[in-house]
Amino acid sequence: MVERTLTLIKPECVAEKHIGDVISRIEKAGFRIKAIKMLQLSRREAEKFYEVHRERPFYGELTEYMSSGPIVAMVLEKENCIADFRNFIGATNPKEAAEGTIRKEFGKDIQMNCVHASDSPENAVREIYFYFSDREIMD
């Protein structure tokens, strides 16, 4: 089934000028970019986006970090997009990510791990519409 997912290129990856490298790999792997924008989250927006993690010990650090600089948000589309994209980026902790994945190559630690990716169809819809309107998503 053709699915969509939401990905974010995180602040450290943008700051280190890896936007082009990451997007190039994503496209070459067969994911179609359906929407794209650069923005900086406010602390309050980051708290809202990551509210499922509110009770986690790392919630404060995570939301401070994700609002610390510009990010790039994208909607990607492909068959089995959600699971395939999570495999493509590698494990959450870059130290455990497989060779050849973007988290292995560009991630620094579990927080500065290059990209975010939706983890389920329900979250993908919520996350896509957190950043984009229908008009900004190509058919």
User: Catalytic residue numbers?
Assistant: 116
Q: Is 130 in the site for ligand CMP (CB under 6 A)?
A: no
- The correct pick among 40, 68, 92, 123 for binding ligand CMP (CB under 6 A) is 92
Which residue number, 7 or 78, has a Cβ lying nearer to ligand CMP? 7
User: What residues form DSSP beta bridges with 36?
Assistant: 74
Of 14, 116, 127, 131, the one binding ligand CMP (CB under 6 A) is 116
Q: What secondary structure does DSSP assign to the chain, as a single string?
A: -EEEEEEEE-HHHHHTT-HHHHHHHHHHTTPEEEEEEEE---HHHHHHHTGGGTTSTTHHHHHHHHTSS-EEEEEEEEETHHHHHHHHH--SSGGGSPTTSHHHHH--SSSS-SEEE--SHHHHHHHHHHH--GGGS--
Among 21, 33, 91, 111, binds ligand CMP (CB under 6 A): 111
- Does residue 29 belong to the site contacting ligand CMP (CB under 6 A)? no
40 lines the binding site for ligand CMP (CB under 6 A): no
Under the binding rule (CB under 6 A), the answer on residue 68 touching ligand CMP is no
Segment near ligand CMP (CB under 6 A); pick from 14-22, 75-83, 107-115, 123-131: 107-115
